[in-house]
Structure 1
Amino acid sequence: MSITLADARVVTPEGVHEGWITIEDGRFTHIGQGQAPRDGHSLGGRYVVPGFVDIHTHGGAGGSFPSGDQEEARRVAAFHAGHGTTTIMASLVTASLADIARATALLADLCDDGLLAGIHFEGPYIARARCGAHDPALLRDPSAGELSELLKAGRGHVRMLTIAPELPGGLDTIRTAVSEGVIAALGHSDATYEQAIAGIEAGCTVATHLFNALPPLHHREPGPMAALLEDERVTVELINDGVHVHPAMLRLAASVAGRSRTALITDAMAATGMGDGTYRLGSMEVEVSGGVARLVEGGSIAGSTLTMDIAFRRAVLEVGLPVAEAAEMASLTPARVLGVDDRVGSISVGKDADLVVLDDDLTLHAVMRQGTWLESPPAGR
């Protein structure tokens, strides 16, 4: 099947241009400027950006990846696809080793099916002082042996591990993760600047939701954030919901790390798209009020109710980033992190035809995944 999308503002890594796109058999085959050479479907001058790639998501539409329930996971993926996320990784939270292994094995089936791009262990190897919405009773010191056993449950689909490198066994566990093909992410950590550098040297290449669950920057004690921002090997995640990170701090991070090292994420939990109320994130009870999720006990921020279309829109309209730069942060940069940028992440000839059509005000109009138009976003949009 062939389709041409005409009269579009096509957003590529090189910029924004008036033009057209041809899609055949689920892939981009031609990208041109000006008037399309054949009749096509007019997009009325709307923006076309690459499908979003979210490397940190816990849930949505009332469903949760940490539950390990496959129907819930399918609902979460469908909900976020309706908001433009055409590639999604399932993030777990701190739990018992048995519960992590069980959820991992069930989610691995959905990775086999191509629904999920991988599994992310956010915990249990994180710092008690920076555990945020993770159950402190279930935290553990890192163990390379334990991790290897957990990875077996994932059958090669565990793609990322968030870890605090300063913990006993942290550096060895980072090295083991990397040797097993798992991305090591420094996060939920109380590391010093020097300890963070040691973690990066051991193999950490991602900063889990930069600025959140990390010591603040200080001019005499720079801490892990300075180490993460200045090292060109590290990609920094940012939750752009206006709650987790002030727009000025996102601008600062983007100016230091650049578009190729800054990845927008949602860190979305089950309440996303569902409205205020009481929900669960792993073993923890969460109260959502005014769209902000906080632990019932203690009040820590507990994930977000963000979707990637809103994160992208905020990046342009509120943070002030150029459209092409925001698109790279929401698509190509996280695709590079996952090592799937040869297939997704940009509107480029030969890649999967994953795209999002946006109106002039950057609100979502339509989503295509592998050449197929998806239905309108599910209820709760």
Structure 2
Amino acid sequence: MMPAGSQQERLLTLLRVGSIFAPEPLEATDILIADGRIAALGRDIDIPAGWPLQVVEARHLIAVPAFIDQHVHVTGGGGEGGCGTRCPEITAYEIASMGIGTVVGVLGTDSISRSPADLLAKVRGLKAEGMSAYMYTGAYRVPPPTLTGDLQRDLAWIPEIIGLGEIAISDHRSSQPRQDEIERIVSDTRIGAMLAGKRGICHFHLGDGKRGLEPLRRLLSETEIPADQVIPTHVNRHTALLEEAADYALAFNASVDVTAFEDAGDGLSSFDAVSRLLERGVLSERITMSSDCNGSLPEFDTQGAYLGMKVARNTTLIADWQRIVREGVLPLELALGLISTSVARVLGLHDKKGRLAIGFDADVALLNSELQPQQTFVAGNCIFDVSSG
């Protein structure tokens, strides 16, 4: 791993690998990187003598687009059981070691002791360490907390903010927003994002409440808001909710996000959830996976009283994704959409991330035959190398 600002990061970098999935398989086995972007793809690329070139020999590894995790509590989540239950921040090493090159930071239940300002500072800190990092403005509650006092201004003036989230619905921890309040914040997010040339998605946390996806179904049925503006997450919280999510995705041609729960409990693992959605006829490009990393996994009794919690990790995300490929649920080129290509499209980053193509950000994960990340490059810089661990 090389420090940002070093002399090495200004060199041309040539990755020589065994195979490339971009996500589709390519005949190329070389990736030339210049100025943080992919400059060329080919075989046995010849670089003139004397050029400032760093060669990475990785003929035994598979190159894929670095993964994108759209739901990470980078400042830590939790707090439902008091200040002693706040989750820790995540480190750049923890992120990159899973082949993840881009994260989107979220707040959660606690937007009192943590704030959008804290989140922005952490996102910028991760960027300084070489990660690609973004954030949502807002938190569980409505009206959502913001940096500028206005959703539209947050989206328009702060580059790192790419949407609103995670807004909690159908959950006893939510602020129980009315339908008109949901419509207003989604509309404000859309307009602010348009002014900034962003997608401006609204990332909705789904609890296990009886209303399920009804607020979002009404939003898309009763307004002019397009389906790609809204992303429900945690839809595998329980079986009935996942079935409803399948109906929702099919009815509106919408995307849904499943969470890689470390302990699914009454819910479904992300492996089982993806498998079931595909069986229901949901297209793979309409399904994404995220980790909820460093968020809390609280337990409550039937009256809503706090019982205890665990801290989510991102290891389950990669393990479940690997299982999807190994067990033939999806071939590698389609499975990459779940944590890279389709995520980039959902977030509005598809013009620079989620593919290995000329002109795209040089965000590359090198995987071994077991699909385990061995090196992670972001903007051409190696920010994780298992051999230096």
With the length of structure 2 as denominator, give the TM-score of the two structures: 0.70
**In 2 relative to 1, CA 323–112 (structure 1 residues): closer, same or farther, beyond 3 Å?**
closer
- 2:64 aligned with 1:44, yes or no? no
2:37 corresponds to: 27
Give the drift of 1:377: 5.3
- Mapped partners of 2:138, 2:328: distance in 1: 27
3-state SS of paired residue (1:249): helix
State which of 253, 265, 275 in structure 2 corresponds to 1:251: 275
**In 2 relative to 1, CA 366–117 (structure 1 residues): closer, same or farther, beyond 3 Å?**
closer
Deviations 1:46-84 (A, max 9, x none): 21111111110114xxx63789xxxx75x5233202321
3-state SS of paired residue (1:328): helix
- Mapped partners of 2:104, 2:387: distance in 1: 19
- Is the 1:82–1:378 Cα contact (8 Å) retained in structure 2? no
Paired AA for residue 12 in structure 2: S
**In 2 relative to 1, CA 7–149 (structure 1 residues): closer, same or farther, beyond 3 Å?**
closer
Give the drift of 1:94: 1.4
- 2:191 aligned with 1:179, yes or no? yes
- Is the 1:90–1:116 Cα contact (8 Å) retained in structure 2? no
**In 2 relative to 1, CA 296–306 (structure 1 residues): closer, same or farther, beyond 3 Å?**
farther
2:136 corresponds to: 120
Deviations 1:220-259 (A, max 9, x none): xxx4552135422x22212245743343431232453323
Structure 2 unmatched runs, 5+? 1-10, 48-54, 80-87, 171-175, 194-199
**Worse-matched range after superposition: 95-104 or 364-373:** 95-104
Deviations 1:155-214 (A, max 9, x none): 534323233388312222222232222311333254356543222355452121222279
2:164 corresponds to: 160
- Mapped partners of 1:123, 1:214: distance in 2: 26
2:235 corresponds to: 210
- Mapped partners of 1:53, 1:105: distance in 2: 18
Please provide the CA RMSD for this pair: 3.8
Give the drift of 1:356: 0.8
3-state SS of paired residue (1:175): helix
3-state SS of paired residue (1:314): helix
- Mapped partners of 1:199, 1:36: distance in 2: 53
2:259 corresponds to: 239
1:3 corresponds to: 13
- Is the 1:354–1:370 Cα contact (8 Å) retained in structure 2? yes
- Is the 1:56–1:90 Cα contact (8 Å) retained in structure 2? yes
- Mapped partners of 1:86, 1:145: distance in 2: 27
**In 2 relative to 1, CA 351–296 (structure 1 residues): closer, same or farther, beyond 3 Å?**
farther
Structure 1 unmatched runs, 5+? 126-141, 271-280, 287-294
Count of aligned pairs between the two proteins: 329
Give the drift of 1:37: 3.9
- Is the 1:144–1:176 Cα contact (8 Å) retained in structure 2? no
- Mapped partners of 1:46, 1:145: distance in 2: 44
Give the drift of 1:373: 1.8
- 2:191 aligned with 1:197, yes or no? no
With the length of structure 1 as denominator, give the TM-score of the two structures: 0.71
Paired AA for residue 46 in structure 2: R
- Is the 1:263–1:334 Cα contact (8 Å) retained in structure 2? yes
1:310 corresponds to: 319
- Mapped partners of 2:310, 2:328: distance in 1: 21
- Mapped partners of 2:92, 2:139: distance in 1: 22
**Identity fraction in percent:** 18
Paired AA for residue 25 in structure 2: G
Deviations 1:331-364 (A, max 9, x none): 1111122222212111111111111111111122
Matches within 5 A, 1:1-381: 1-15=11-25, 17=27, 19-32=29-42, 35-38=43-46, 41-59=56-74, 64=76, 76-96=91-111, 99-104=114-119, 106-107=121-122, 109-110=124-125, 115=131, 117-120=133-136, 123-125=139-141, 142-143=142-143, 149=149, 151=151, 156=158, 157-158=160-161, 159-163=163-167, 164=169, 167-168=177-178, 169-181=181-193, 182-189=200-207, 190=209, 191=211, 195-201=215-221, 202=223, 203=225, 204-212=229-237, 216=241, 223=244, 225-232=246-253, 234-240=254-260, 243-244=263-264, 245-246=268-269, 247-254=271-278, 256-269=281-294, 281=296, 297-298=306-307, 303-306=312-315, 309-318=318-327, 320-376=329-385
- Is the 1:229–1:236 Cα contact (8 Å) retained in structure 2? no
